[in-house]
Structure 1
Amino acid sequence: MIPPDNRILRAYRHFIAELSKIYDEREAGNMVVEMFHHELNCSKADILTNPDRRLNESELVRLVRFRDRLLQNEPLQYITGHTEFCGVQLLVSPAVLIPRPETEELVNWIVETTQGNNEVWDMGTGSGCIALGLKKRCPHWNITGFDVSSQALAIAAKNGEVNQLEVNWREADLLADAWPETLSQPHIIVSNPPYIAPHELASLNLNVTRYEPHLALFTPGDDVLIFYKKIINLALDRLAPGGFLFFECHENHVSEVEMLLNKELWTSIEQRTDMQGKPRMLKAELRQT
C-alpha cells in the first residue's frame, strides 16, 4: 500500500506502522531510517527538519518496494547489500551469512589474547568478516580465509579490495580428507562453522531459512559437531605449538565442543559468554612439545 499522504514525515510514520505489524516497533523504526537513507539519501534529521517535503511518485515506488521486501522477512542487510563489522564495511548477499555482533566479540578476544606476527587461518570465512576484522586490527598478521563456496570467496575478495585489506582467499572443503602441505603453519585457527542439524530448520526464523545460505548454516547430517571434530584434528596436525584455536559455537553445544579437546594436548581451555550472557565462544592453546 502506498502511503495516503506523500509528505515525508507522514510517509515515514506510515511505513513504521506497517512494519511494526511483524517487527518490534524500535526495530521497525530503525529499518525505516535505513530505508530512507538507502533509497533517498535522506536522514532522520532531514525528515524531521523538513516534514512537509513532498515525495514524488518515483521516490514512493522505491520506498514501497523496499518495504515489501522487509514485509517478506528479507534481511535488511541483503536489501541494502552491505553491513558493518568491526569497523569494516562489508558487501553481503544471500551467498554469505550476515555477520552477527557476537562474532565481533570473538575477533576482540583473539586480538586481546595473542601477540606478535601471527599466521591465521579463518575456516569457513564466508563474507570474510572475521579475517578482515582481524586484518584491520592487526595489519601485520598474515591471514588466509578458507571456504567451500566460490561465491562466498568472491564476495570476501571484493570486501578485501574495497577496504584495502590484504587477505589470502582459498577454496577448500573443511571436511576434505587431506589439506595441501604447502600452506604456512598457522599460529591461530579460528572458525564459526555450520552447527545446525537439518532437522532443526523448522525452528529457525523465516528471515534465516528463506534467505541465508543453508550451506553455511547446516551440517551435512545430524552430527552438529562434525566440523569442530575435523578442525580440531587439522589443528593438531598443522597448528604451531603454543598456537591458539578459537571457535564460535551454538550455546547448547559449547561444552560438547570443549569435551572434544584432549586435555593432554590442549591447555588454557576457556569458554566465554556473549553480550547476552550465553556461552558462545571457546579458546584453547596447543601444548608446547
Structure 2
Amino acid sequence: MSVSSRQLFTKIHQQLQQIYPSEEARNIAFLLLEHCFDISRTAVLASKDIPDTNTDQINPLIERLLKHEPVQYVLGETLFYGRWFEVNSNVLIPRPETEELVYRIVEDFSFRKKDPLAILDIGTGSGCIAVTLAAEFPVAQVWAIDVSEKALQVAQANARLNSVQVNFVQADILDQQRIGLPENLQLDLMVSNPPYVTRAEMELMRQNVTAYEPHLALFVEGEDALLFYRHIASLGKSVLKTGGACYMETNENYTKQVQDLFEEYGYTATQLITDMFGKDRFVKAIL
C-alpha cells in the first residue's frame, strides 16, 4: 500500500497552518517530506507515491513543530553557505545574516586562498563560520573557541561532516587569561557573532527563538550590549598581526557603538557594513 505524497503534503500543510503563515507552512512541509522520505518538491508536486508503512514517522515531528520548536532543531540539520550542518538546542541556528558575514570575508580574502592564513572564530556555536572558512580556505589554520562544551561537540561533528580540520578550544572570551590559544599565535583574521541581545529586547523576539535557542549564545548579562565586543577588541590587540582584520556581526541598534569601540582600542580602519535588508549589521576593523 502507498499514499500520494501530494495528499500527505496537503495534510501536513493544513496542520502547520494552525500556527504558521501559509507560505512558511508550505516550505516546512516540503522540508519534512524531503527529510523523512527523500522526496523532492518536484516529486511531491507530481504526486509520487510513498509507502504508507513509513508515514507515521512524520507525526512526532509535526507535534514538535506545533509547539513552536524551530524546524532546524526538529530535523537536526540546516543548510549554511551551501553545506549541511547538524544543529540542536545547544547551538544557535545559523542565520542568513551570518552567511552574509562569511561571504564578505571570503570575498575580501579571495586573493589569499592559497595562503596559510591563521583564523580565529570566537563563540563558534555550531561551527558554521569556522567550518565554512576552513573549507573555503583549505590551507588556512583555523581555531574556534566556545565556552559551551556541548556546543563544541556539535561543532566538532560538523567539522567531520564537512571533512575539514578546525582546532576547537573550550574557552571563555571574557576570561582571556585562560583562553588556551597557542603561545605567540599571530592571526590574520578574527571573526565573531557573539551574544549581543539585551534582556530588555527579549520580549520583542519570537517564541520559537526564546523558548528553544540557547540563551547563553543569545543574551548578554545585564544591559551591556558591548560586553563581548570589548573583550574581542582587547584580544585582537594581542593576537592579530599588524594589518589583521576582525569581522563581527552586531545588534543593529549598537553597530555604530561597536565601530567606535574598536576605534578607541586603536584599530586603524573600521567600516560599517549593511545586511541584505539595508540595516547596519556588521563591523570590520583593521589593526
With normalisation by structure 2, the TM-score equals 0.91
| 1:20 counterpart (7, 12, 17) | 17
Matched, 1:199 2:200: yes
Counterpart of 1:103? 98
For residues 159-205 of structure 1, what are the alpha-carbon distances to aligned partners after superposition, in whole Å with 9 as ceiling and x for unaligned? 11111101100000010041446252111111100001223222211
Q: 2:184, 2:64 → 1: CA distance?
A: 43
Q: 1:124, 1:16 → 2: CA distance?
A: 36
Which residue type is aligned with residue 17 of structure 1?
A: Q
Q: 2:4, 2:83 → 1: CA distance?
A: 35
Which residue type is aligned with residue 47 of structure 1?
A: V
Matched, 1:78 2:79: no
Question: Pairwise CA RMSD of aligned residues?
Answer: 1.8
Deviation at 1:236, TM superposition (A): 1.1
Note if contact 1:8-1:55 (Cα within 8 Å) is conserved in structure 2.
Answer: no
For residues 53-86 of structure 1, what are the alpha-carbon distances to aligned partners after superposition, in whole Å with 9 as ceiling and x for unaligned? 4763x53422222212111111111111111112
Q: 1:67, 1:42 → 2: CA distance?
A: 17
Which residue type is aligned with residue 192 of structure 1?
A: N
Which residue type is aligned with residue 155 of structure 2?
A: A
Q: 1:24, 1:256 → 2: CA distance?
A: 36
Structure-to-structure mapping, 1:132-171, within 5 angstroms: 132-171=131-170
Structure-to-structure mapping, 1:184-195, within 5 angstroms: 184-195=185-196
For residues 113-143 of structure 1, what are the alpha-carbon distances to aligned partners after superposition, in whole Å with 9 as ceiling and x for unaligned? 2334311110000011111111111111111
Structure 1 spans left out of the alignment, 5+ residues: 1-5
Structure 2 spans left out of the alignment, 5+ residues: none
* Closer, same or farther: CA 7–264 of 1 in aligned 2, 3 Å: closer
Deviation at 1:17, TM superposition (A): 2.2
Note if contact 1:84-1:90 (Cα within 8 Å) is conserved in structure 2.
Answer: yes
Structure-to-structure mapping, 1:250-289, within 5 angstroms: 250-262=251-263, 265-286=266-287
Counterpart of 1:38? 35
Counterpart of 1:3? none
Which residue type is aligned with residue 13 of structure 1?
A: T
Note if contact 1:87-1:133 (Cα within 8 Å) is conserved in structure 2.
Answer: no
Deviation at 1:263, TM superposition (A): 5.9
Q: 1:54, 1:79 → 2: CA distance?
A: 21
Counterpart of 1:244? 245
Q: Give the total of aligned pairs.
A: 279
Q: 1:15, 1:78 → 2: CA distance?
A: 18
Note if contact 1:127-1:155 (Cα within 8 Å) is conserved in structure 2.
Answer: yes
Note if contact 2:4-2:47 (Cα within 8 Å) is conserved in structure 1.
Answer: no
For residue 245 of structure 1, give the secondary structure of its aligned residue in structure 2: strand
Counterpart of 1:50? 47
Q: 1:265, 1:54 → 2: CA distance?
A: 62
Deviation at 1:46, TM superposition (A): 2.5
Of residues 13-22 and 236-245 in structure 1, the stretch that sits farther from structure 2 once superposed is 13-22
Of residues 240-249 and 192-201 in structure 1, the stretch that sits farther from structure 2 once superposed is 192-201
